[in-house]
């Protein structure tokens, strides 16, 4: 069963929802965010980073 991930464009900041079975994660190497290798922002073509699983409250919204 696949799950939905909430991702954020590193360039323009929009949220994009992707299924876990359609993304390939990039090797971790910079920053703390898991980056996506094969899907890019539909708006600007920027790189996407995983914010969290859809439905969960991402840490940055809890304040």
Geometric angle at alpha carbon 58, from 11 and 42, rounded to 5°: 30
Shortest distance in whole angstroms from residue 2 CB to Zn ion: 23
Q: Which is nearer to Zn ion, 14 or 54 (CB)?
A: 14
CA distance 14 to 41: 8
Neighbour tally for 41: CB within 10 Å? 19
Residue with structure tokens 């991702």? 7
Q: Is position 9 an interface residue for Zn ion (rule: CB under 5 A)?
A: yes
Q: Is position 42 an interface residue for Zn ion (rule: CB under 5 A)?
A: no
Q: Is position 41 an interface residue for Zn ion (rule: CB under 5 A)?
A: yes
Q: Is position 15 an interface residue for Zn ion (rule: CB under 5 A)?
A: no
User: By the criterion CB under 5 A, which residues form the site for Zn ion?
Assistant: 9, 11-12, 41, 43-44, 46
């Amino acid at each position: 069963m696949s799950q939905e991930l909430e991702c954020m464009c590193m360039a323009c900041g929009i949220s994009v929802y992707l299924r876990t079975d359609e993304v390939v994660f990039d090797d971790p190497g910079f920053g703390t965010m898991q980056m996506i290798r094969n899907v890019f922002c539909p708006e600007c073509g920027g790189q996407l980073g995983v914010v969290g699983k859809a439905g969960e409250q991402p840490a940055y919204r809890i304040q």
